[in-house]
Amino acid sequence: MLEIDDLQVELDADAGLVRAIAGMRLALSRGETFALVGESGCGKSMTALALMRLLPENGRVAGGAVRLDGQDLLVLPEGRMRDVRGGRIAMIFQEPSTSLNPVMRVGDQIVEAIEAHTVLRGKAARAKAIDWLARVGIPEPQRRIDDYPFRLSGGQKQRVMIAIALAAEPDYLIADEPTTALDVTIQAQILDLIRDLQRERQLGVLLITHDLAVVGGMAHRVALMYAGQIIEVAPAAEFFAAPRHPYARLLLQALPDAARRGQPLAAIAGTVPPLWQAFDGCRFAPRCDKAMAHCAGTPPALTDEGPQRQVRCLLYSQPGDALPRAPAVARALPPLPPVQSEPLLDVRDLRVRFMLRTPLLHRGPRHFDAVDGIAFQLRAGRTLALVGESGCGKTTSGKAIAQLLRRQARISGQALFEGCDLFKLQGQALLQARRHLQIIFQDPFASLNPRMRVADVLEEGLIALRPELDAGQRLARLRALVDQVGLRRDALQRWPHEFSGGQRQRIAIARALAVEPRLIVCDEPTSALDVSVQAQILNLLRELQREQGLAYLFITHNIGVVEYIADDIAVMQAGRIVERGACAEVLGQPREGFTKDLLAAVPRLLVARS
């Protein structure tokens, strides 16, 4: 058994002492999947890092124990901990682009793990690495094993991370958002692989994720975290059927799907409180719709509420009258913008070819056609969802349209933005076009300059593309942006590394919105966000679309988000669009076999909505 007993983790920060984890207790058995869920910044990933003794330099364990079969890992010398780390407990990190070594071939990184923790060496270790690449769904593993990480898509890099973690066949796996960057077919394949390993080797899995549908299909038990504390623990079936904590209930009501289409999602007001402040009462009380007068001054304990069920809430231990609150008034939606006869964006026969560096006498192909002749139209006020497997060309298409691949690839075809071909623009004309066309990148950490504060990141676009704004107007715009995307205003003076993955994604979204564009290429804009923040962002994108007539090219693998926000869908496979049409038509009656397989792999979570 892997057991956490009263774990307390502290971080030194500019704002003060951050108590990232406050007295956590949980136990994970062999063969069990224990899901740890909660909002971005609540301490989920910090828990994983503490278990592996990989805390950042400013972090430390202030108390408690982490026991593996009775042995406290926190007191082991580092030499012995290296044998445990990767050999007995492996971890899939949240951001593959920052976890993979950029100057090592991916195969060498897998072989390194195999040789460190198994008896295999040399050719045998390489053959095992190729086998793992195939098992996690990397096409042509014999060729891709010698690729560097930059040659792989975001989803493929995530699969390599999974292969590294599983290659030594550990006893326990800590999976921090293991399927965030994966399309649904590969996600299903990876989850099936983890289930198979559980049956074969009694693998214990600590699953950290914000994808509640994955939790519903994988987990035996669920622990819900908020502001550094576990606030509810329950068997998975009971948690989804009848959540007890008010936060859990609100979380499930924020899930997007076709039934919510045209309505605002039930986003939870406010944000997770900063963990450097002192708490006198319940940490969720300021956002809770069931808060009572004594919630602000009485800290709730985690109490038993049934077999294997615990809740940290005064509603059950010290019930009272709820505080009077103004009735929620649904915000009237702006009218839909009139459908324009002419498309805002008209893509015709788009082809993107990457030249490959091959040996001089190599007779194989020296190029790779990532996008092979796609065409679509997008009108103002409309959302076109581009879906498909990882590596099919979705992101490449978006980057090509946003004029970000001019030097890396050979691009042909046309991308007519209000009748003007973007591929032919140069100089000042191209700069003006960027004012109206922005992109939200898939990997928020790689797209944010680590040497710039958030205020500078957001202001950079305003200075370049909105020169008519003075310093005061720019500052007002920055404050409005962080409010819009659900961040506290003190975030403006912090650095990107000080935020969680979901919080960094909100910064990336704010940067794209800063210059008030007309078309946004959204490359997995909600993939790193927890459910409540995803609801805030989707509500924001929908409201902006209705108010300003924004158009979205929405690249995603989250079919629930597609059902909620998309007007039209284009399904891509191997660089081509294989099916295209209205959202309800394609999702309700798919015609192509690939589309049917894609939809069949989507995990579904049936939640009763109040």
pLDDT at residue 244, as a whole number: 93
DSSP letters of 472-483? Answer: HHHHHHHHHHHH
Find where tokens 């492996």 sit.
Answer: 90
Q: Measure Cα distances from 499 to 13, 23, 261, 496, 508 in Å.
A: 12, 22, 31, 6, 12
Q: Which residues contact 583 (CB under 8 A, 6 or more apart)?
A: 385, 562, 563, 566, 567, 568, 569
Q: Alpha helix (H) ranges present in 335-470?
A: 394-401, 427-436, 444-447, 454-465
pTM for the structure as a whole: 0.77
| Across 491-520, average pLDDT | 87
User: Which one-letter amino acid corresponds to residue 581?
Assistant: G
| Across 85-113, average pLDDT | 90
> Which one has a higher pLDDT value, 121 or 94?
121
Q: Give tens-digit pLDDT for 349-408.
A: 999 999 876 655 556 567 889 999 999 999 999 999 999 887 889 999 999 999 999 888
pLDDT at residue 606, as a whole number: 60
| Across 125-144, average pLDDT | 92
| Across 321-328, average pLDDT | 64
Q: Is the pLDDT of residue 601 over 90?
A: no
Angle in degrees, CA 547, 559, 199, rounded to 5? 150
Q: Give tens-digit pLDDT for 191-230.
A: 888 888 888 889 999 999 888 888 998 999 999 999 999 9
Q: Which residues pair with 377 in a beta bridge?
A: 346
Find where tokens 């909002």 sit.
Answer: 39
pLDDT at residue 330, as a whole number: 45
Cα four-point dihedral sign 233, 238, 244, 246: positive
Q: Give tens-digit pLDDT for 527-557.
A: 767 787 788 788 888 888 888 889 999 998 8
pLDDT at residue 329, as a whole number: 44
Q: Which domains does the chain have, with CATH numbers?
A: 346-357+364-600 (3.40.50.300)
Q: Which residues contact 608 (CB under 8 A, 6 or more apart)?
A: 241
Find where tokens 């058994």 sit.
Answer: 1
| Distance (Å, whole) CA 578 – CA 595 | 8
| Distance (Å, whole) CA 114 – CA 169 | 9
Q: Which residues pair with 3 in a beta bridge?
A: 27, 67
| Distance (Å, whole) CA 414 – CA 351 | 9
Q: Give tens-digit pLDDT for 152-178.
A: 877 788 889 989 998 988 999 999 888
| Across 126-136, average pLDDT | 93
pLDDT at residue 610, as a whole number: 46
Q: Is the pLDDT of residue 88 over 60?
A: yes
pLDDT at residue 260, as a whole number: 80
